[in-house]
Amino acid sequence: MGVHFGISVLFVVCLLGLSANAKDFTITAPPGSDITSLLLKTFNEACQFPTRSSVLIPKGEYKLRQIEMMGPCKAPIRITLQGTVKADGNVNGNDYWVAFRRINGFKLNGGGIFDGEGNAAWRANNCHKMALTQCKKLPISIRFDFVTDAKIRGITSLDSKNFHINVLGARNMTLEEITIIAPEESPNTDGIHVGRSVGVQIINSNIKTGDDCISIGDGTRDLLVERVTCGPGHGISIGSLGLYVKEEDVTGIRVVNSTLINTDNGVRIKTWPSAACSTTASGIHFENIILKNVTNPILIDQEYCPWNRCNKNKPSTIKLVDISFKHIRGTSGNKDAVKLLCSKGFPCKNVQIGDIDIKYTGADGPATFQCSNVSPTLMGTQVPKACSSPVTKLPGQ
């Protein structure tokens, strides 16, 4: 009995030791100081600690220059930001301000603020008017690159110079209770961009910005967007897809129980004509969406070509398959309530429309429902009255 009791106690102590031996690190710099070097040093120490560790940035306002916090770490690590970190004004052509990279078992929380100080950069930014190769590179505020088993909760991104949050190569990552704030006129300030990632969830968040609230790039699989309020901004977008070579398929996207207010678009899928690749976007479902004065509430745009940077005469080669828009209701700021503009080269397949109720009260009304190169399956009520145009087929198809 004594031997068995001793083994049991040892087992419990070992389990408890995972927490009991955790190490807490605290940034002790005075408010107003530059904490870049100290934070990097502290993170590296915590990252190399053999059991769980945490880094606390306490309440107060601190300066923070470009910083890269790189794993892999020896054990799970948490950063708790309670204060505000403010970016310096020097952009220097860098593509990020704060980067978390190659960390497994990562948490970021604390209710703090990443202030990107974007106002000066926006005035000098003409990227929304010219070719990408002619743009001066501006930093994304927060990058999560190849981060796995992660939970980002209760942080705010304010006035990013470029994208607020960029998620690349993530696996099993949740972003919850995220607040994103930038003026409606701030250029290219996408709220959360996800690409080449699997199992990302964006939940119970509020995004007010000058570009897409959430943009979903190539290679994204099994993404859930739920209880997100968006506006102002450009809506929730799949794409744009097809601009670059070697893009990967997009599959398993669910946007549910969300609200869009005064946005330029609602829920949309956008692909380039004369695309540089031939990929497939499938299993994309929008359901239980509330609209309040949303321009272009439901949009498939396979002729997406801003600033005439493509050949519109070449149809998009991105295949759209298994798409649904269900239980979407509210008001439109444009008579074009629903536009399904699919590729004449690869018409959309298996598109379902169910229980749509979108009202428009403008002088040029009533609201319209347009289709091209798609024959949607209709279910429930349709306001405005839905189209059901035949699929355009090319010779030999």
- Using CB atoms within 10 Å of the CB of residue 396, give its burial: 0 to 12 exposed, 13 to 18 middle, 19+ buried: exposed
Sorted by sequence, the CB contacts under 8 Å of residue 344 that are 6+ apart come out as 315, 372, 373, 392, 394
Alpha helices by DSSP H, listed for the chain, are 2-20, 36-47, 119-123
Contacts of 162 (CB under 8 A, 6+ apart): 121, 138, 139, 140, 141, 188, 189
Does residue 80 lie in a domain region?
A: yes
Give residue for tokens 């279910």: 379
Any idea how long the chain is?
397
Task: Establish if 31 belongs to a structural domain.
Answer: no
CA distance 219 to 194: 9
The mean-pLDDT minimum among 135-144, 153-162, 341-350, 384-393 falls in: 384-393
pLDDT at 312 (0 to 100): 75
Q: Which of the four pLDDT bands, split at 50, 70 and 90, describes residue 387?
A: confident
Structural domain of 288: 62-383
| 253, two tokens | 């996207």
Q: Note whether residue 56 is domain-resident.
A: no
pLDDT at 12: 42
Binning pLDDT at 50, 70 and 90, where does residue 126 land? low
User: Per DSSP, what are the bridge partners of residue 366?
Assistant: none
Residue predicted with more confidence, 197 or 13: 197
311 or 34, greater pLDDT: 34
| The pLDDT value given to residue 94 | 85
Which of the following is catalytic: 193, 234, 285, 327?
234
Residue 379: inside a domain, yes or no?
yes
CA-CA distances (angstroms) from residue 115 to 108, 161, 182, 204? 16, 10, 10, 21
Which residues are bridge partners to 174 per DSSP? 151, 201
Q: What is the CATH number of the domain that holds 330?
A: 2.160.20.10
Max avg pLDDT among 6-10, 58-62, 242-246 = 58-62
CA distance 265 to 268: 7
Domain membership flag for residue 260: yes
pTM: 0.91
The reply to whether 37 falls in a domain is no
Summarize the confidence of residues 270-286 as an average pLDDT: 92
Q: What share of the chain is helix, strand, coil (3-state, %, to 5)?
A: 10, 45, 45
Res 1 pLDDT > 70 = no
How far is residue 210's CA from residue 184's CA, in Å, rounded to a whole number? Answer: 4
152 domain residue, yes or no: yes
Q: What is the DSSP letter of 351?
A: E
Structure tokens at 354: 């169910």
Tell me the per-residue pLDDT of 80-118, one tens digit each, with 9 for 90 and over: 999 999 998 666 678 999 999 999 999 999 999 999 999
For residue 95, is it within any domain?
A: yes
- The separation between the first and the last C-alpha atoms of the chain, rounded to the nearest angstrom, is 78
Residue with tokens 């439109």: 332
Q: Residue-wise over 79-117: b if at least 16 C-beta within 10 A, else e?
A: bbbebbbbbeeebeebebbbbbbebbbbbbbbebbbbbb
Per the annotation, the verdict on 285 as an active-site residue is no
Q: In this model, does residue 386 exceed pLDDT 80?
A: yes
Euclidean distance between CA atoms 114 and 180, whole angstroms: 10
In whole angstroms, give the CA distance from residue 73 to residue 53.
10
Interval 306-361: pLDDT, tens: 877 777 778 999 999 999 999 999 999 999 999 999 999 999 999 999 999 999 99
Sign of CA dihedral 77, 78, 83, 88: positive
Interatomic CA distance for residues 295 and 265, integer angstroms: 5
Q: Could you tell me if 267 and 300 are in contact, meaning their C-beta atoms sit under 8 angstroms apart?
A: no
Q: What is the number of domains present in the chain? A: 1
